[in-house]
Chains A and B, each alone.
Chain A
Amino acid sequence: DTEVTQTPKHLVMGMTNKKSLKCEQHMGHRAMYWYKQKAKKPPELMFVYSYEKLSINESVPSRFSPECPNSSLLNLHLHALQPEDSALYLCATAKDRDSFNEKLFFGSGTQLSVL
């Protein structure tokens, strides 16, 4: 069982909708990540938060807006998405991001479909 919880598990949205993905962890980890995974591809990094501050943005379009309101929560706000944004969105946590050498723990993901 994972200690990283993502909601919702599935989401269908239109291109004009605004929705949010939520990730919650109670492991005391201070680094949190959003990954995007297209079908039959490996996960690709989108954002990294370290101690609630955005530390890495992998040139992600502005229609994706991350937020880290506290050390346990990570949100991904979605607005005006395109059908090609349909993918599995994975949240991950690590004890600390500073060394790039931390063990990552993933949530079960949100399967997003944009119509």
Chain B
Amino acid sequence: GIQVEQSPPDLILQEGANSTLRCNFSDSVNNLQWFHQNPWGQLINLFYIPSGTKQNGRLSATTVATERYSLLYISSSQTTDSGVYFCAVPGNTPLVFGKGTRLSVIA
């Protein structure tokens, strides 16, 4: 089945810093989704981005489908950005998740 790899696995940032999270996938996909799981377990769908670039406030995402990767940019990070960021793609099940990047933003 399709493999999804995320990097880095862990990231610690000072409040106000910028960061880039990466998601590599092993096969062609028709969509890719980025999620943020907050410390209380809620999974929020950040982006549905099969290709191209999208922006939502301080967050933006870029997917280069031909090269099988996606990037999530977080600018001017805030403590509320802490949590785990997952990317997910369709495989032999509706969504196959990467292992996530655990982000801690320190004030």
Task: Give residues in A with beta carbon < 8 Å to B.
Answer: 2, 31, 33, 37, 41-45, 48, 56, 58, 88, 90, 92, 94, 97, 99-106, 108-109, 111
Of the listed residues A41, A42, A45, A104, the one surrounded by the most CB atoms of chain B closer than 10 A to its CB is A42
Contact residues of B between 53 and 107, Cβ < 8 Å to A: 86, 88, 90, 93-95, 97-100
State A31–B98 Cα separation when bound (angstroms).
22
Interface residues of B, CB < 8 Å — how many? Answer: 22
Q: Contact between A56 and B41 (Cβ–Cβ < 8 Å)?
A: no
Give the nearest-CB partner of A42 in chain B.
Answer: B97
Query: Given the interface contacts A43-B97, A45-B93, does A101 sit within 8 Å of B30 by beta carbon?
Result: yes
Tell me which residues across on chain B come within 8 A of A48, comparing CB atoms: 93-94
9 contacts between A and B (CB under 8 A): A37-B41, A90-B41, A101-B50, A102-B94, A104-B45, A104-B88, A106-B35, A108-B41, A111-B41
Q: Contact between A43 and B43 (Cβ–Cβ < 8 Å)?
A: yes
Q: Contact between B94 and A104 (Cβ–Cβ < 8 Å)?
A: yes
Query: Given the interface contacts A101-B30, A103-B33, does A108 sit within 8 Å of B40 by beta carbon?
Result: yes
Q: Contact between A103 and B97 (Cβ–Cβ < 8 Å)?
A: no
Expressed in whole angstroms, the minimum distance between the Cβ of B18 and any Cβ of chain A is 25
Tell me which residues across on chain A come within 8 A of B28, comparing CB atoms: none
Expressed in whole angstroms, the minimum distance between the Cβ of B31 and any Cβ of chain A is 5
